Structure 1
Amino acid sequence: MTTKQLFSCCVLLAGSILVGCTPAERASEDLTVEMRILHTNDLHGYMLGYDYFQQQESSRLGLAHVASLVHQARLEQPNHLLLDNGDTIQGSAMADWAQSQGIDYLSQQRHPVIRAMNYLGYHGAALGNHEFNYGLEFLDATIEGATFPFLAANVMEADVADSDWESTRFTPYVIQSHSFVGSDMQRHDIQVGLLGLVPPDIMRWDRDNLEGQVQARDMVAAAQHFVPKMKAEGADVVILIAHTGLRHYEEYPDNAEQAALYLAQLDDVDALLLGHQHRQLPGEDYQGMPGVDADKGLIHGVPAVMGGQYGSHLGLIDLTLQRTDDGWVIADQRAELRPIGDARDELLVAMLSEEQEQTLAMLNQPLGAIDSDIENFFARVQPNTAVQWVNAAQHWYATRLQKSGELPAELPIISAAAPFRSGFGGPEDYTHLSAGPLTLGHIADLYIFPNTLRVIELDGEQLRDWLEMSARTFTSIDATHDDWQDLLQAGIPSYNFDMMNKVSYRIDSTQPPRFDGQGQQINDSHRIVDLHFQGEPVTAEQRFLLTTNNYRVSGGGFFPHATSAPVHYSGQMEVRQIIAEYTRYQAETYADEIPVKLESNWQLDIPAGTKLRFRSSGLAAAQDVAGLLPQLTLIEQDEEGYGIYQLLPVPSNE
């Protein structure tokens, strides 16, 4: 029976028992279908409940723990889809191990992340920005093993016209037909459209891997093009799997990194699956943001979820679809986050036991021994051994390049590096390497990203601007204020606080920042004062070689002059490998133990009488370090386990 015949039949026999119409043909406004969307995001290669930094089991992360929630949620609602938001194949030691095996390994076996996701029966995934860290060839070989589609609607072939939206490098969207049981206990085919989006910033962050091969476009513009197309092709429900977070702009900028607020305002978007910011929605993280109901997980009325990081939560969106004359419409919706617990999928753990064994063997390769701790508990407020170890390694490697003629011999070398694990993932998320053997696992703790080394040339004024950009991390201190003041500016990640070696300087915290978050000068002030090199003031015309990483030189953090400075070296060796080589060299130089020396080459100027507080680790080890530092005093420990510390002025005799 055709739709037109069915309509005629129902009109003629309205109010009567319809003899000859099958149950599946009875269109009723009372007919509903309950549909559940299960969501993971920012797994970063954490397949097992294992903390590779502490080298111990953990119930706070890992897809194996999420899997137990997935199984329970499926029992509760058979009408479901399981989707992932991206940043899946990079970030853990197991992901590092898989990448180290190369493409030949992937031609014979599936990537362990893909094996786990295939086992759980994912229906689709978006590409995140970190999927591009290892290059397109590795990415293609990885996702080829997936039994579900990886989607990215705004990554195009390199040489296509702006008007061409069809020449996408990856699958932009899919429309899947799912047979779901309705309130009438009959099966109904629901056409579910999935669209993937990734921040266009990948062209900056992974320029070396992508330039000349692809182009990335604005996420909102991509959705504006593809969502109507999906609806025209029969999608009953449209789900955006957008690897992006939430930020309120006064005026939406093209190619915004955080676009969820604006994606939610597009017509025909029924659900948003988010990530990238490693925050939680529903939850407290987005309270008070215009257009967001953070308690219910609604963005301009559209249900949305973001589940933290590393598999800490499972996101759920429950939709009630109602049959109308115009098709299926959303009659009700609910968003929820479920935190993981001790339960885990033991089959998944067993399935990856060989990869886990080889990962741990890689991590435990000894490099040497250190005579005292390397830590970064207070790296946001004073010099520390962790960042200095990275700077020493980068400087050592650049010196080797200079001696071999690969860098100009007449220019002095300075290194810049930032703290990475600095509390974002919880009060234990800090680097603390105890005195004794140092392994590759410790190096992964010290430097968590797969960045590669870059050496650029800056003059003295540009060098100072670089440090001025770092000094944005501090609030502007009011010397006349008697009450407590927060020392650190909210929303600035630790990895954008570069410290330099071989120079000395002070940071005047009473001055306003010279640059905004986009690297644009907004004030004539200077926070960086008394900048010296080899005991002499740095002049504007001096020239330096600065060792940094590909993330910075590609524009990450928007550091002034980073993208325009002459590049003297652009290597493919990861900084982590350089740190490992440096550690081995140090072990050969010092037969027993490598000395860990702290160079106090910079300080934060604090007006006398001010009361400044900041948050750091509340661990006993952190409190022990603070007890040895006359500038630091523990005020209290908060409910999450962080320590709240007071920073005092440097004593006048120091």
Structure 2
Amino acid sequence: MQTTSLTILGTSDIHGMIYPISYHNNESQPYGLARLATYIKTVRNQEENMILIDNGDCIQGTPLMYHYVHQQSALPNPVIKAFNHLGYDAAVIGNHEFNYGRNVVDEAVQQSTFPWLSANTLEKNKGVPYFGKPYIIKEFKEGLRIAVLGLTTQFIPNWENPKHIECLHFIDGVHAAEKWVSYIEEHESPDAVVVSYHGGFERDPETGEPTEKQTGENVAYELCQRVKGIDVLLTGHQHLLLSGDVNGVSIVQPGFNGSHIGRVDLYFEKDETNSWKLKRKKTSLLSMENIEADNEVLHVCQPYERSTQAWLDRPIGTITGDMTISDPHQVRLREHPFIEFVNKVQMEVADAPLSLTSLFNNHAKGFSSSVTMRDIVTNYVYPNTLTVLELSGDDIRAALERSASYFMPGEQNEIIVNPEFYDPKPQHYNYDMWEGIEYVITVGKPVGQRISNLFYQGKELESTSFYPVVMNSYRAVGGGDYFMFKDKKILKEIQIDMTEILANYFQTHRTVVSQVNNNWTVKI
């Protein structure tokens, strides 16, 4: 009996991490596209039939990509150069593809030698997929035909700057999959259907128990349960490591930054009608920890990396006092000079009396005495702009309650982080700290009663009065379940990246004094 096999390799959430280094200190790290490249080339030499797919969030996330967009955008996109070199068959649009504006993603698509897929990202008023055909058909020897359908998390309008997604409409991924998988089966008659979805699992893949609020951000479990005809589902967005089977659908999710690659091997046999039948599937995750970086990819991107490193090491200012971070949990429990500094810069540039910001992750180190661009981009890791919203006192109190949910009492009556903020994906960036008001968070009190001593300019914050508040663009559209901010009146927008705003502040003031006014407190 005639047999054949096909290997599917899936990358996801690379976030511009080409080089296997930490940009904070340039130390070697067990991840990166260059390491993935070595494995990809090895498999391509071993397997006769192979499909290589990127599952989204590839062109944003590192200082290299920030520097490229702001300083080298006349050149080809370095991630796309690497993808073209590796012979990707397709890529899926992720939510972070839009962070630098649609011109950047449109140019990336135009530079690609492969198609970009997203069946549920439509051109508004036309109802057709914005990025062209929503699927591809790959044909191999002996007539083997594989369909690859792309989907994107539909939750993008809840995070992205509206100007970056003008003329786009994001529809329900499950409905889009039902439509297009049915269409593909009827009109293409593929031997297997692969769905590459930049989104993750809203339920535990093994038990089906909910793991997060059912918002529509992640619908991979529902795709496996409801959409008939899917053989393989490549997932991402959550930065998890997943491999297995859900309702007969083979699934993988390969983490982030190129730490792993997802692999699915399909085995076919010819039946009595001389047609290929899928007989067996095998999923696996491969770590890049012991894989050497590919020299050709490093060489292709070297001009970008060299320029980025020089830019990162440029001194731009000094700190008097101590603005370093040794314990991120303590920074979130009591005001830290670094947080106060970011908030006061936001207030100054936006001319707003109130501000909020976050400590985005647990890797931020704050500022030492000499500040470089490297320090700024490794502490402020997102390409956010600033928005000033008009909020009522009730809105502010509701937002503080949302932030208070970041904490919970521990068994020893200590303050710990609510697991919802780190499982299944770290979301430390969804806890805000405010400047311009005074408040106390009492973690052990019931929901709705955790905020007390809420004052503005020495007086109790009035619930029906309105206040200008500056925040980053992600939060201003309600990102992080801050629904009280969604659709509020916009008083002002500052269309400059926050990293550039911080750099400009240092270039103007040169020396910044570390200080803290302790305007808020978290207690048990």
TM-score (structure 1 length as normaliser): 0.74
2:355 to 395, 410, 415: 415
Following TM superposition, by how much is the alpha carbon of 1:175 offset from its aligned partner in structure 2, in angstroms? 0.8
Please name the residue that 2:219 is paired with: 259
Q: Deviations over 1:289-318 (max 9, x none)?
A: xxxxxxxx1122211111111000111111
Please name the residue that 2:430 is paired with: 496
Following TM superposition, by how much is the alpha carbon of 1:459 offset from its aligned partner in structure 2, in angstroms? 2.3
Please name the residue that 1:38 is paired with: 9
In 2, the alpha carbon distance for the partners of 1:362 and 1:250 equals 45
CA RMSD of aligned residues (A): 2.3
Please name the residue that 1:471 is paired with: 404
* Amino acid across the alignment from 1:453: L
Alignment check: 8 A CA contact 1:385 1:597 kept: yes
Report the structure number with the largest CA radius of gyration. 1
> Is the aligned partner of 1:273 residue 2:234?
yes
In 1, the alpha carbon distance for the partners of 2:93 and 2:385 equals 22
Percent identical across equivalent pairs? Answer: 29
In 2, the alpha carbon distance for the partners of 1:124 and 1:314 equals 15
* Amino acid across the alignment from 1:268: G
SS at match of 1:321: strand
In 1, the alpha carbon distance for the partners of 2:368 and 2:164 equals 41
Instruction: Assess, with a 3 A threshold, how the Cα gap between structure 1 residues 549 and 361 changes in structure 2: closer, same or farther.
Output: same
> Is the aligned partner of 1:356 residue 2:326?
no
Matches within 5 A, 1:4-43: 30-43=1-14
Instruction: Assess, with a 3 A threshold, how the Cα gap between structure 1 residues 60 and 253 changes in structure 2: closer, same or farther.
Output: closer
Please name the residue that 1:155 is paired with: 121
> Is the aligned partner of 1:320 residue 2:253?
no
Following TM superposition, by how much is the alpha carbon of 1:255 offset from its aligned partner in structure 2, in angstroms? 7.2
Instruction: Assess, with a 3 A threshold, how the Cα gap between structure 1 residues 146 and 562 changes in structure 2: closer, same or farther.
Output: same
> Is the aligned partner of 1:234 residue 2:189?
yes
Matches within 5 A, 1:100-499: 100-101=70-71, 105=74, 109-160=75-126, 164=127, 166=128, 168-179=130-141, 188-232=142-186, 233-248=188-203, 256-265=216-225, 266-282=227-243, 297-325=244-272, 327-342=275-290, 343-371=292-320, 372-375=322-325, 377-378=328-329, 379-399=331-351, 413-422=353-362, 430-433=363-366, 435-475=368-408, 477=409, 487-492=416-421, 493-499=427-433
Please name the residue that 1:603 is paired with: 521
Instruction: Assess, with a 3 A threshold, how the Cα gap between structure 1 residues 217 and 255 changes in structure 2: closer, same or farther.
Output: farther
Alignment check: 8 A CA contact 1:321 1:330 kept: yes
In 1, the alpha carbon distance for the partners of 2:372 and 2:488 equals 35
In 2, the alpha carbon distance for the partners of 1:36 and 1:512 equals 52
2:36 to 56, 66, 69: 66
Following TM superposition, by how much is the alpha carbon of 1:568 offset from its aligned partner in structure 2, in angstroms? 0.6
Alignment check: 8 A CA contact 1:373 1:434 kept: yes
In 1, the alpha carbon distance for the partners of 2:212 and 2:397 equals 31
Please name the residue that 1:533 is paired with: 456
1:507 to 441, 457, 467: 441
In 2, the alpha carbon distance for the partners of 1:211 and 1:50 equals 32
Instruction: Assess, with a 3 A threshold, how the Cα gap between structure 1 residues 388 and 253 changes in structure 2: closer, same or farther.
Output: closer
Instruction: Assess, with a 3 A threshold, how the Cα gap between structure 1 residues 511 and 177 changes in structure 2: closer, same or farther.
Output: same
In 2, the alpha carbon distance for the partners of 1:460 and 1:385 equals 26
Following TM superposition, by how much is the alpha carbon of 1:217 offset from its aligned partner in structure 2, in angstroms? 0.4
In 2, the alpha carbon distance for the partners of 1:211 and 1:351 equals 31
SS at match of 2:405: helix
> Unpaired runs of 5+ in structure 2?
204-208, 422-426
Instruction: Assess, with a 3 A threshold, how the Cα gap between structure 1 residues 486 and 223 changes in structure 2: closer, same or farther.
Output: farther
Following TM superposition, by how much is the alpha carbon of 1:118 offset from its aligned partner in structure 2, in angstroms? 0.9
Instruction: Assess, with a 3 A threshold, how the Cα gap between structure 1 residues 499 and 93 changes in structure 2: closer, same or farther.
Output: same
TM-score (structure 2 length as normaliser): 0.91
SS at match of 2:143: strand
In 1, the alpha carbon distance for the partners of 2:300 and 2:63 equals 17
Matches within 5 A, 1:70-85: 70-85=40-55
Alignment check: 8 A CA contact 2:231 2:248 kept: no
Q: Deviations over 1:219-243 (max 9, x none)?
A: 1111101112112213211111100
In 2, the alpha carbon distance for the partners of 1:494 and 1:415 equals 18
Alignment check: 8 A CA contact 1:125 1:151 kept: yes
Instruction: Assess, with a 3 A threshold, how the Cα gap between structure 1 residues 63 and 509 changes in structure 2: closer, same or farther.
Output: same
Alignment check: 8 A CA contact 1:322 1:330 kept: yes
Instruction: Assess, with a 3 A threshold, how the Cα gap between structure 1 residues 211 and 40 changes in structure 2: closer, same or farther.
Output: closer
SS at match of 2:111: coil
In 2, the alpha carbon distance for the partners of 1:368 and 1:48 equals 27
In 2, the alpha carbon distance for the partners of 1:341 and 1:560 equals 40
* Amino acid across the alignment from 1:259: V
More deviation in 249-258 or 204-213?
Answer: 249-258
More deviation in 547-556 or 485-494?
Answer: 485-494
Following TM superposition, by how much is the alpha carbon of 1:258 offset from its aligned partner in structure 2, in angstroms? 0.5
Q: Deviations over 1:28-72 (max 9, x none)?
A: xx3221211111110000111121122x14232211111222233
Following TM superposition, by how much is the alpha carbon of 1:212 offset from its aligned partner in structure 2, in angstroms? 4.2
In 2, the alpha carbon distance for the partners of 1:363 and 1:68 equals 27
Alignment check: 8 A CA contact 1:59 1:65 kept: no
Following TM superposition, by how much is the alpha carbon of 1:385 offset from its aligned partner in structure 2, in angstroms? 3.0
Alignment check: 8 A CA contact 1:60 1:340 kept: yes
Which protein, 1 or 2, shows the higher relative CO under an 8 Å CA cutoff with sep ≥ 6? 2
Please name the residue that 1:642 is paired with: none
Instruction: Assess, with a 3 A threshold, how the Cα gap between structure 1 residues 571 and 346 changes in structure 2: closer, same or farther.
Output: same
The list of structure 1 runs, each at least 4 consecutive aligned residues, that deviate by more than 6 angstroms after superposition, is 249-255
SS at match of 2:420: coil
